[in-house]
Amino acid sequence: MLSEKPISMSKVTQKELNEQILRLGMIAELDAVSLYQQMAEMTDDPQIREILLDIAREEKTHVGEFEALLLKHDQEQVEELKKGAREVEEKR
């Protein structure tokens, strides 16, 4: 379920390492969101469903925390996110 890290962490600079740590954190949280939402869809118990969906929402908050930190550390990521948003708007 958890995505594998595709690079050898021993071969990157500290800046790159920090950025990769934040990205791996985001991946782990997104995996958790998906897992909890899938389990919520599978259960027939309303209380379990409610709790799972609440936990999924909390994981989304964690994604936002990692993203906010990443955007402080990776200006290229900031610019590419803006570029992506513009491309979506142009296709509307």
> Would you kindly state where each structural domain of the chain is located, as residue ranges?
14-90
Query: Which pLDDT value is given to residue 9?
Result: 65
What pLDDT, in 10s, does the model give residues 21-44? 999 999 999 999 999 999 999 999
Residue among 56, 51, 57, 61 nearest 36 (CA): 56
Task: Report the mean per-residue pLDDT for the chain.
Answer: 92
Query: Which pLDDT value is given to residue 11?
Result: 76
Half-sphere exposure of 42 (CA within 13 A, CB side): 7
Query: Which pLDDT value is given to residue 5?
Result: 59
Long-range contacts of 75-80 (CB under 8 A, 24+ apart): 77/19
